[in-house]
Amino acid sequence: MSAIELYKIWSTDPYFDEATKAELKAIENDTTEIEDRFYKDLEFGTGGLRGVIGAGTNRMNFYTVAKASAGLATYIVEQGEEAKKRGVVICHDSRHFSPEFSQVAARVFAEYGIKVYLTDELRPVPMCSFSVRYFNAFAGVMVTASHNPPKYNGYKVYGEDGGQVTEVAAAAILANMAKFADVRTVKMADFDEAIASGLIQRFGPEVDIAYTEMLKKLVIDADAIKRQADISVVYTPLHGSGNKPVRRILKSIGLNNVYVVPQQELPDGSFPTVRTPNPEDPAALTLGIELAKKVGADLVFGTDPDSDRLGIAVRTKDGEYKALTGNQVGLMLLDYILDSKKKLGTLEDNAFACTTIVSTKLCKAVCEAYGVELQETLTGFKYIGERIKVDDEFGDKHFQFGFEESYGYLSGTDVRDKDAVVAAMLVCGMACQSQDMGETLIDRLYRLYAKYGYGFEQAVSFTREGKEGLDKIKNGMASMRAELEACKTADDVANLIGGPKPVAVRDYQKGVRYDFSEGEVKTTELTLPKSNVLLYELGGDKGLDWACARPSGTEPKLKIYFGVYDSDEKTAADRLESIKSEMSAFVENKLG
């Protein structure tokens, strides 16, 4: 069915609500907008849905949420009566329509006779993951678009282990969604009746208590926290779902001086005080830094709307505040956990940590120093969750810490997604330990650089909106891949990208590593799952420099990541700028 035909159905059929019809009536003469809203269904990827809120098949709305829920419900029914009884946990954050979308999902599941555990207020991603395991549910749904701008919302699906749904399950859910090509065939139970019957059950404080008690068991170096309990910190939830759980755990571990940014404390899906509610953007911490200067805080940190990402800024010796990158915080937390456990005698044998192929390469040296295995995964915390399941839950290894460069961190195994609440607790504990040692967190970072080498990583994003933009990203990656396949030597690749000679290039979509280290190209097979990623191994002083191109899985962007490592700080910084400039020009040219 064409976009125009779908538009007419959504604009006139009595199945659709009047607000939807009015929204579509307002664009009746805008064929470009109609095409963008209806040229396809909003894609259900391995993590679920994410898109702009609005009317249309390619938008987040009551009907696309209902269709996704019907696909998931059908999948659960196919697994048998036990799966239906175990049911689904549903949580949501502070975004526009998040509570309403949650109720729509609950009504669809109830229609299929599936038990629903529905949060009684906004709760973050880590608590959704935790709740799946707490209730022994078969699946979970988190209504969120994470750190995206206010116009977005999403629908994230979790498996019974509390990790993001697997590719196999996602494919089955997608196939079931196809059975509801006409969204008007989706049926929903009456909400009040389902509540009265107990099929939909509200949950609340009991999970808060259990989650907080679990986090307290993950405290590192409790003695240092006790000695430095008066450390002053500023926190902002950026109008999101982290406010209560973060403050609760910091109070539980005994921190006395936690200041919350008042303008950003309460939930607000418009996120009116920030350019974007993303703690990866240092500007998101502006109000936090202003408050920190007034109260003399040592540390500022913020969580995104669904509280799975944490950004921090630390006070320097001159009284200013410096934002740290996700790689820097991840490196410090990795060393903090392993070093503290080693000294306390609690670091298990057969321990392992996880990070991703686009995160700092200094992690390897840290893990080697403590005799801990480092596992690299594809980008996306779902892969780290899978390693916990395989090697810790069902294997004989012991997970210590996982992180990705995009400000996501995890300690413990009762949550299987990135967790900004535990990260906030760990960062505050690390700050207490550093203060106990007479150093700042900046001192701590440079102590690690002095030991392991200087590492600098950055990322550049190229945004291309709409259908045309997605085609440009797809075609750009295809062009880069085709030109790479024609290269016979490192010189060929260097001439192509306008940068240094690569040692090798990994094409994760084809599952091939092209090795140029001995002149003529040699190929070997990659072991990680297939993914639309090109990673260039660029050598350098420590042989670790790299650049990587991959389309974002959640936004209309092509992202280019860079990492450079050297024994000299300035040399590393200068080389990073050179590689970034060359590779960015190469990629932007491919996008047009």
Which amino acid is present at 570?
Answer: K
Report residue 570 as tokens.
């300035």
Q: Any alpha helices (H) in 163-254, and if so which ranges?
A: 167-177, 191-197, 205-216, 222-227, 243-252
Give the helix/strand (H/E) hosting 545.
Answer: strand 545-551
Question: What backbone torsions phi and psi does residue 358 show, to the nearest 5 degrees?
Answer: -110, 20
Q: Which residue has the tokens 């997604």?
A: 417
Which residues lie closer than 8 Å to 416 by C-beta, 6 or more apart?
129, 133, 158, 161, 162, 163, 164, 385, 388, 389, 410
Pairing of strands 351-356, 398-404: parallel
Choice among 69, 146, 307, 406 that is catalytic:
146
By C-alpha distance, which of 102, 146, 107, 104 is closest to 124? 146
Q: Return the number of other C-beta atoms located less than 10 Å from residue 5's C-beta.
A: 10
Which amino acid is present at 37?
Answer: R
From residue 475, alpha-carbon distances to 482, 499, 510, 529, 586 in Å are: 10, 22, 16, 22, 14
CB 239 within 8 A of CB 268: yes
Give the helix/strand (H/E) hosting 387.
Answer: helix 381-387
Handedness of CA 190, 192, 193, 197 (dihedral sign): positive
Report residue 557 as tokens.
């962007």
C-alpha radius of gyration, the chain, whole number:
24
Report residue 448 as tokens.
């690690």
How far out from the chain centre does Cα 283 lie?
Answer: 19
CB 339 within 8 A of CB 370: yes
Which residues lie closer than 8 Å to 62 by C-beta, 6 or more apart?
17, 20, 100, 101, 104
Which residues lie closer than 8 Å to 232 by C-beta, 6 or more apart?
257, 259, 295, 296, 297, 298, 299
578 among known catalytic residues: no
How far apart (Å, rounded) are the C-alpha atoms in residues 57 and 59? 6
Helix (H, G, I), strand (E, B) or coil at 86: helix
What residues pair up with 163 in beta bridges, in sequence order?
Answer: 416
Helix (H, G, I), strand (E, B) or coil at 466: helix
Burial class (CB in 10 A: 0-12, 13-18, 19+), 44: buried
How far apart (Å, rounded) are the C-alpha atoms in residues 258 and 13? 53
Helix (H, G, I), strand (E, B) or coil at 376: strand
Which amino acid is present at 545?
Answer: D
CB 321 within 8 A of CB 368: no
Which amino acid is present at 169?
Answer: A
Q: Any alpha helices (H) in 388-461, and if so which ranges?
A: 420-436, 441-452
Active site residues: 146
